[in-house]
Amino acid sequence: MTKINASLKTPKQDKSVIWFVLSDGRGTNLKIYSGITIQTKHWSKKNSCVLSSNQDAISINAFIRERKAEILAIYLDFKARNIKATAKDLVQALKDKEKSKEVILEKPTLWELWSIFLQLKKRTCNPTTYKKFISLGNHLKEFENLENLLLDVDTINKATFEALEGFLYFHKNLNTQSSSKYLQVFKTFLRWCVDNKHTINTNYLSYKLTSQPDTLKVILTDKELQLIREVNLEGKNYLHNARQLFILSCLTGLRYSDYSRIKREHLKQDDNGEPILIMRQTKTNDFVEIPLNTESEMIVKELIEEKIRPITNQKINEYLKELCKIAGINETFEIHTYKGKQKTITTKPKYELVTTHTGRRTFATTLLLKDIPAETVMIFTGHRDYKSFSKYVNIPKKEQIKSVRNALKSL
């Protein structure tokens, strides 16, 4: 016998969305969101209704009764036609029924709006940022299939974001920082929908992104960088490219996306005849002028003359770990990984933590340790505000203590 009940999706939380669960006792178990979120204390589990302590109880309960009857009737109609309906089928049928009640303009679906949004972003974003939008779209489609629901810009709310956040944590195995970036992109899309009059729904704004505590930012010391320079690569010549490109990053602060495309026209001389690299940064689209020392100038010329060549970011990250391991950069670190409030602690040797980005962090931190003002360093790293820059660098604790001790001696 086919039954349909209204219940709370997350009854143990302070707030929850109401959804309808339809089952026929033969394995069918369809869930359809109501688009209504209430405080869980206002819900009667026994009677499957909103308690009178909620000021909107009468209207919500009337909606629940009507919607349950509609869903059941639609499902039985599908069944009579020997069609095995899905939750998406029922949601679409409900929408069709609403359209039949009144003459309304055809509204684009979320995915039709997403397609338009992507086309706009493709013209205005750099390729790396655009890939994040593509990845988010893939995650959203997988989320829909897993939850057996149809996302709708008119009904997305805080509960939707909370469910999506859990999906990114536990099904995509993303940490808090990566998940928050995707959720922020989704918010950007929904804000675009509101700004362009595709919806008036702003319920999603009550969802606040989870901030990840500061995590370990690995840098290399002068001694470690020298170990990399001197390590014997006999039999492992394929690591030479990675070593040179990484050293260049440590000496210039350039991102992988920039040093991997250096050309002859980027190498100039300043007014004093000293070598300088002038190029537009891929990420910020700003020009940057980087002074070169003897070593960095040599590596730049090797790139221009194709004595060394750029390799993929994924491959260079793989090679850097192998290079640093051979060089003996194996100090052990405690790593904290966050998924919301859930923290996992592991230990890893330093060589496993080195990436292309470590070069930029090493460059910025080294200059600060040599008493170059942060405002000056930011000019070369491309940071526009101190808040983001301060999260980027990593002054070792012993160096901080040394600086304070030296300052106190002069008092």
Domain ranges, ordered by start, for the chain: 3-100, 110-206, 222-410
C-alpha dist (Å) from residue 322 to 160, 254, 313:
42, 22, 15
- Of 235-249, 315-329, 346-360, 368-382, least confident by mean pLDDT is 368-382
pLDDT at 104: 44
Phi, psi angle pair for 32, to nearest 5°:
-130, 125
Q: What is the pTM of this model?
A: 0.58
Cα separation of 292 and 267, whole Å? 9
**Taking the domain 222-410, which CATH number applies?**
1.10.443.10
Residue pair 239/231 in contact (Cβ under 8 Å)? The answer is no
pLDDT at 15: 93
Mean pLDDT of the region 5-33: 90
Cα separation of 259 and 249, whole Å? 7
Residue pair 340/165 in contact (Cβ under 8 Å)? The answer is yes
Other CB atoms within a 10 A radius of the CB of residue 169 amount to 19
What mean pLDDT is reported for the chain? 88
Task: Check whether 214 has a pLDDT greater than 70.
Answer: no
| β partners of residue 349 | 332
The closest alpha carbon to 245, from 259, 265, 233, belongs to: 259
Look at the alpha carbons of 141, 147, 150, 151 in this order and tell me if their dihedral is positive or negative.
negative
Q: What is the pLDDT of residues 29-66, one digit of tens each?
A: 899 999 899 999 999 999 999 998 887 888 899 899 99
- Of 69-83, 170-184, 319-333, 394-408, least confident by mean pLDDT is 394-408
Cα separation of 187 and 369, whole Å? 39
DSSP label of 78:
H
pLDDT at 200: 94
Task: Check whether 107 has a pLDDT greater than 80.
Answer: no
Cα separation of 104 and 109, whole Å? 14
Buried b (16+ CB within 10 A) or exposed e, 39-73: eeebbeeeebbbeeebeebeebbebbeebbebbbe
Report which of residues 331 and 28 the model is more confident about: 331
Q: What is the pLDDT of residues 290-317, one digit of tens each?
A: 999 999 999 999 999 999 998 898 999 9
Where do runs of H (alpha helix) occur along 43-175?
57-80, 87-101, 110-124, 127-147, 158-170
Q: What is the pLDDT of residues 141-159, one digit of tens each?
A: 999 999 989 999 999 999 9
pLDDT at 103: 44
Task: Check whether 102 has a pLDDT greater than 60.
Answer: no
pLDDT at 37: 93
Residue pair 339/272 in contact (Cβ under 8 Å)? The answer is no
Other CB atoms within a 10 A radius of the CB of residue 335 amount to 14
pLDDT at 396: 57
Cα separation of 308 and 311, whole Å? 9
Cα separation of 286 and 59, whole Å? 55
Report which of residues 134 and 56 the model is more confident about: 134
Residue with tokens 């190029």: 279
**Percent composition of the chain: helix, strand, coil (DSSP 3-state, to 5):** 50, 15, 35
pLDDT at 242: 94
Mean pLDDT of the region 178-207: 94
The closest alpha carbon to 244, from 291, 304, 288, belongs to: 304
| β partners of residue 30 | 22
Environment class of 334 (CB within 10 Å of its CB; exposed 0-12, middle 13-18, buried 19+): exposed
Report which of residues 62 and 24 the model is more confident about: 62
Helix (H) or strand (E) holding 197: none
Q: At what angle do helices 222-230 and 313-326 cross, to 10 degrees?
A: 90
Residue pair 31/21 in contact (Cβ under 8 Å)? The answer is yes
From the centroid of its chain, how far is CA 151?
A: 20
Report which of residues 387 and 193 the model is more confident about: 193
- 3-class DSSP state of 276: strand
Q: With pLDDT > 90 as the criterion, what percentage of the chain qualifies? A: 60
Tokens of 198: 């595709």
Environment class of 91 (CB within 10 Å of its CB; exposed 0-12, middle 13-18, buried 19+): buried
Residue pair 339/170 in contact (Cβ under 8 Å)? The answer is yes
Q: What is the pLDDT of residues 258-274, one digit of tens each?
A: 999 999 999 999 999 99
